[in-house]
Structure 1
């Protein structure tokens, strides 16, 4: 049960709110359509239900608001518009990354690809998918956590009739197994055909809350559908007789040989055609139909009531056991499009006759219907009735490794990170060769490939870019923000990003030093390079520089929500902040940090080894440098800015 109570968006300036005191409910076991024209506030209402949009009101998912649900991914599945994701990521990599965020097994990704018919495209890049395949992938992502409620924004927009039939077949199957489905649409005929319940809004206010049959009777115009090879002749005759009788009859010529007659009935149209010798191929009443199709209208899929217990299978030769009656007071489950249709079609929601072919909504994937055979295990696990994934046996574990798994999947799922590291290695090796040729450049600058003309070495720029992309991709391809139930706690996500980015920066620092050293030995001979006496300070300074640049890019991209802002923050450290710090430190020094390790040892409860004094003093000397001081100041300011801007909203992990 989904209950939206008093949803009111926060208006900007003097404009009216996009959603104004909207209250309705979507019942389990049924598909509910939120109908309204473009700009009526449908998308805003969904985002407010997911707590992605500020405003007043509350939404209960089976009696609890979203921020109080322990495992939101098991309660709500979301598809808001197009599927966001990096174009270079594969379908399987995208779902595995979301599995890590939701805390479900990674094997769930392969199961969902099979369910939505994308098993053969699991290694396909997201940027090469068609609209229909992308929408299937979005449904797979929404169903990863085996949610009870599905929220979808215009799921059938711009889809072909075949893809639309498959999509709503999957939604009806989810509802038939006890789930709640709420989707938005601006097409009243689509809502009448595919939903059990229709909630109509206009300018953010509730207009009507009806079942599909009542909606079709009161909100859609009844008509007579006629198919005849003499459509133009019959249209002229019907219009002439209506004018002669002073009756209001409207005749609309559809595609091919189809006519839609408003204001008349089958008896009058049939008598007119008989009197004038017009051959008829179809004559039927229609209410809430979608209009002309390329072929015959698709037969609706059966939608059994999910709340009824299943009767045991009868023994061979025995009479069938009747289905039990619904519990007293329970809400009836209406079949989609239960308005009257042509006599040649089945009543919507009724079970197909024995031996009949199921409707397009029951086809589990693209292409022609599969040959008869055993049902998939995913369907048998739910008791049949639709192409649904097997249920999750155990709940997701609330573990600090979940954001770490997600961040690793995000970093390693696209070739951007390895390409940046490879570019930094190649550039550093080339610069090291040119810097070592004159012979006057100090060894640390040669190994770091840091000429005086550059504000930072290539490795530091590469680490800063990796850090900036860590949050920059989250805002450019927001795979987490649309699925409110799978968003990790922002603090946990920040710690995971800091950990993974620091590890990547340290690995890059080690690789650059080793590669530059080996390239110098290869080009200029095999003489061993002497190890300097202050190598601990050099190692700490080199690692700290790369980690600091990576963290500066990460935090700046998180604050300003752009990769370019992260790169700019990295460049601002040596170009802007370091000169200011250097000016502040210019002057005679009357104090020294000599003896700092000994004084810290006196304050500590535990005694650390004597060797740690040298490392601690080296770190202090690095921080005392203008660039080190500027980097520490930048990281402190960016951390405070991130905590102030990003952690104000409630978020769940």
Structure 2
């Protein structure tokens, strides 16, 4: 049971709300159609139900609001348009990534693909799917958690007749299994044909809430559609003969050469056209839409009262619901002792956890697209090439040669690659929001941030090791091992190298997370050597009054005999690494980005 009570969207400027005090219900075991023309508030209603848009009102899913459901993907499946997935990701990779996000077993990915008829296309890229297969994948994403309720926005738009028939058979099967189905449409005939109940909207307000049979009887009626180049002559002839025979016939001239005749049949209209010598290009029985002009809420109230049934959220006396159940009562399926959240606090609700398995989700997101191995391969190729060119001259320092870092580049290729991979980790979330279907756009959660930082750091460390090994191997192969000696301070050099890569990766992650674009993450990485390092070099070139050179010795005196002998060497190396202008600048950038990330998350009332 889905109960929407008092849904009202937040108005923008001086405009009225897109959805205004909307109350209805969708029953289990039935398909409910949310009908209305374009701009009537259908999509906004779904987003208010899912708590994706700010507003008032509340929606109960089997007696519980969505923010109190432990696993939302197991309660509601959502399809709001195009599949929110990277075009280069495979169908299997997309569903397995969503399984990791929702804590669903990976076996459900194959089951969902099989249930929507995509068996055999598991390895195909999302960007190469035709419209029908794209909609099937969207339904597979909605069905992934085996939800009780399905919310679909215009699921049949643009589909062929065969695809549309398959779609509504699937929705009917889900409802027959005890599930709840709510979908939007702007076609009254579609609603009457495929739904059990029709909720009609106009201007964001409820117009009617009817059974499909009652809706078809009051809103739709049969007509004869005639196409003829002589519309006026045929209309006059049909009207004249109907008056002579005293038959209630209505003739309406549509756009172009189409004539709609209500209250007659094809045989009578064809005979009239033959007798008057009117040429007919098409003659067919149809079901016409007789939608009236926008009705007021009072009209909707009279219509509900005439059907002998109170609207959900309305008491028997006919008073409209205020957004809560009557005093002392709880909504259907809800424990009366359980506290209820008032509709006015809808914007301050705490969202459900998403993703449920952030580290597993981030790993599958990273390896599911070809851009990651492409970046790694490009970095290795460029770095080896630059290392060979620098080593040929014999002038560049060995660390710069091993890193493939000429003086004209602000950063070595490995650092740029690590920053790009880190920036894409959040940039792809905002460009292809895979988490939108479940809980909204890229939730700012500590678990998701830590997972991205951990995975990007691991990738940066692996990339740094690969680049160093590849450059060293190429140099020794081309120029000989005796010309490339291993320096004595290699531990400090390795620490500086890996610290630079991890810092760049984290700068990319945080920059893209704050500014919601991968380009912003790359810009944050480049800002370290281009802007901050020269500034710090000017500051550090001045006379120094104090120094931390004796810090290891003072710590040894403070700790006493427990101080390990090797700690002096490691601490000195760490201070030397951190004390460099690049290290200081990178630390400052990371601190600023982290504070900005936390501040913007709190500013948007995102709960951690």
Deviation at 1:43, TM superposition (A): 1.3
Q: Secondary structure in 1 aligned to 2:64?
A: coil
Deviation per CA, 1:438-482: give whole Å up to 9, x if none.
212111111111111111011100111001110111111111123
Deviation at 1:608, TM superposition (A): 6.9
| Aligned counterparts of 2:431 and 2:367: Cα–Cα separation in 1 | 17
| Aligned counterparts of 1:12 and 1:486: Cα–Cα separation in 2 | 20
Structure 1 contact 216–288 (Cα < 8 Å) conserved: no
Structure 2 contact 80–152 (Cα < 8 Å) conserved: yes
Structure 2 contact 239–249 (Cα < 8 Å) conserved: no
Structural mapping, 1:333-348, within 5 Å: none
Deviation at 1:612, TM superposition (A): 3.8
Q: Which residue, 398, 411, 417 being the options, matches 1:462?
A: 417
Q: Quick check: 564-573 or 206-215, which moved more?
A: 206-215
Give the aligned partner of residue 411 of structure 1.
366
Give the aligned partner of residue 112 of structure 1.
112
Give the aligned partner of residue 355 of structure 1.
none
Give the aligned partner of residue 376 of structure 2.
421
| Aligned counterparts of 2:355 and 2:43: Cα–Cα separation in 1 | 33
Aligned length: 545
Structural mapping, 1:99-498, within 5 Å: 99-220=99-220, 222-224=221-223, 238-242=238-242, 244=244, 248-250=249-251, 261-264=261-264, 286=287, 402-484=357-439, 490-498=445-453
Q: Quick check: 638-647 or 605-614, which moved more?
A: 605-614
RMSD: 3.7
Deviation at 1:226, TM superposition (A): 8.2
Q: Secondary structure in 1 aligned to 2:462?
A: helix
| Aligned counterparts of 1:526 and 1:179: Cα–Cα separation in 2 | 70
Q: Which residue, 610, 625, 650 being the options, matches 2:580?
A: 625
Structure 2 contact 82–138 (Cα < 8 Å) conserved: yes
Q: Quick check: 60-69 or 265-274, which moved more?
A: 265-274
Give the aligned partner of residue 581 of structure 1.
536
Deviation at 1:271, TM superposition (A): 9.6
Q: Quick check: 101-110 or 523-532, which moved more?
A: 523-532
Q: When the two structures are superposed, what TM-score results if normalisation uses the length of structure 1?
A: 0.76
Task: Provide closer, same or farther for how the CA distance between residues 418 and 283 of structure 1 changes in structure 2, counting only shifts above 3 A.
Answer: closer
| Aligned counterparts of 2:76 and 2:518: Cα–Cα separation in 1 | 30
| Aligned counterparts of 2:491 and 2:226: Cα–Cα separation in 1 | 88
Give the aligned partner of residue 55 of structure 2.
55
Task: Provide closer, same or farther for how the CA distance between residues 602 and 186 of structure 1 changes in structure 2, counting only shifts above 3 A.
Answer: farther
The structure carrying a bigger helix percent of its residues is 2
Structure 1 contact 96–409 (Cα < 8 Å) conserved: yes
Q: Quick check: 162-171 or 609-618, which moved more?
A: 609-618
Give the aligned partner of residue 352 of structure 1.
none
Gaps (5+ residues) in structure 2?
277-281, 291-308, 312-352
Deviation per CA, 1:363-417: give whole Å up to 9, x if none.
xxxxxxxxxxxxxxxxxxxxxxxxxxxxxxxxxxx99981111111111111101
Q: Quick check: 264-273 or 487-496, which moved more?
A: 264-273
Q: Quick check: 577-586 or 418-427, which moved more?
A: 577-586
Give the aligned partner of residue 359 of structure 1.
none
Give the aligned partner of residue 508 of structure 1.
463
| Aligned counterparts of 1:146 and 1:652: Cα–Cα separation in 2 | 27
Structure 1 contact 29–180 (Cα < 8 Å) conserved: yes
Deviation per CA, 1:531-550: give whole Å up to 9, x if none.
32322221111001011111
Q: Secondary structure in 1 aligned to 2:457?
A: helix
Deviation per CA, 1:54-100: give whole Å up to 9, x if none.
12222221122211111111101110111121111111111111111
Q: Secondary structure in 1 aligned to 2:575?
A: helix
| Aligned counterparts of 1:123 and 1:106: Cα–Cα separation in 2 | 15
Give the aligned partner of residue 549 of structure 1.
504
Gaps (5+ residues) in structure 1?
290-328, 332-397
| Aligned counterparts of 1:112 and 1:645: Cα–Cα separation in 2 | 37
Q: When the two structures are superposed, what TM-score results if normalisation uses the length of structure 2?
A: 0.81
Deviation per CA, 1:497-523: give whole Å up to 9, x if none.
111100000000000000000010111
Structure 2 contact 5–57 (Cα < 8 Å) conserved: yes
Deviation per CA, 1:41-61: give whole Å up to 9, x if none.
211221122121112222221
